[in-house]
Amino acid sequence: MRRLPERIELKTREQLALMRRAGLVVAEALAAMKAAAVPGASTADLDDVAREVLARHGATSNFLNYHGYPATVCTSVNDRIVHGIPSRDERLREGDLVSIDFGAIVEGWHGDSAISVAVGEVAPEVAALSAACEAAMWDGLAAAHAGARLTDISHAVETSIRRAGKYGIVAEYGGHGIGSAMHMAPHILNYGRPGKGPKLEAGMALAIEPMITLGRRETQELDDGWTVTTVDGSWAAHWEHTVAILDDGPWVLTAVDGGRDELERRGVAVSAAAA
Ligand code: MF3
Ligand code: CO
């Protein structure tokens, strides 16, 4: 039997305004963690920074205790793709690439975003890997407009990655709906043919998060029950933003400028809601 598609939550303008507040807390914390990701810092130091920003804004964590997750941030270094657990014993070293993934809740509404950060100077192919992943995320965000179909986003992400080079595209993890919870319908693959899936409507909010590798796409979970690594040991990059869909265009809630710069570069006007 064919499964009915899960309903996608539609937000009011007031609810999106609360999601924007959560998004700006996330953006501020990620910027602070990026600055703190220097050689010699531990990944737990980044978690400390994030908790301080949450407390200052009276926001709470959607990661902490999520299915028992033990931290406020996910820090995934080098061959770790996602869901790495911060540790006092894990020190960042010059040349590392760390994915810093973080979310916040403001008055019940969620934001979720991730950046990959170069620690000191990284190898050119590692910088290119991260740049390709970030560009693919923005190409996906630029495809998130009312009237399009869900897999138009997936297709935009995949096309962008394939144009950039020969990368593994992680298949087991992807983007998701977000709003009154962090992980909601729909699941968003980072590859696929366009024109399929639910029609995108104003009031939806989605987290778009490509993960790509320098080698093969296969993943494995470590014994800690969380950390996801590549099977072949190749390094991975991960970028994520939360975007709201409005009638007049996307609004990237976790980007300080609402996504204006990167979307305009792609010929897409950001929603007037971002002003
Ligand atoms: N941003 C992460 C994602 O969408 C959420 C991590 S959940 C946690 O995959 F429990 F690992 F924190
Ligand atoms: Co996410």
Does some domain include residue 8?
Answer: no
pTM of the entire predicted model: 0.98
Does some domain include residue 229?
Answer: yes
Does some domain include residue 123?
Answer: yes
- Whether residue 149 contacts residue 197, with contact meaning beta carbons closer than 8 Å, is answered with yes
In this model, does residue 2 exceed pLDDT 80? no
Give the atom of ligand 1 at the shortest distance from the alpha carbon of 207.
Answer: 4
- List, for residues 209-263, the tens digit of each pLDDT value: 999 999 999 999 999 999 999 999 999 999 999 999 999 999 999 999 999 999 9
Residue 74, ligand 1, Cβ within 6 A: yes
Local structure of residue 221 (DSSP, 8 states): E
Secondary structure (DSSP) of 77-114: ETTEEE-PPP-TT-B--TT-EEEEEEEEEETTEEEEEE
Residue 193: strand pairing partners = none
Does some domain include residue 10?
Answer: no
Domain of 232, in residue numbers? 15-274
pLDDT (0 to 100) of residue 6? 84
The number of the ligand nearest the C-alpha atom of 208 reads 2
- List, for residues 18-57, the tens digit of each pLDDT value: 999 999 999 999 999 999 999 999 999 999 999 999 999 9
- List, for residues 216-228, the tens digit of each pLDDT value: 999 999 999 999 9
Q: How many domains does the chain have?
A: 1
Does some domain include residue 117?
Answer: yes
- Domain CATH number, residue 173: 3.90.230.10
Does some domain include residue 2?
Answer: no
When the pLDDT of each residue in the chain is averaged and rounded to a whole number, the result is: 97
Does some domain include residue 185?
Answer: yes
Does some domain include residue 66?
Answer: yes
Distance 69 CA to ligand 1 centre (A): 9
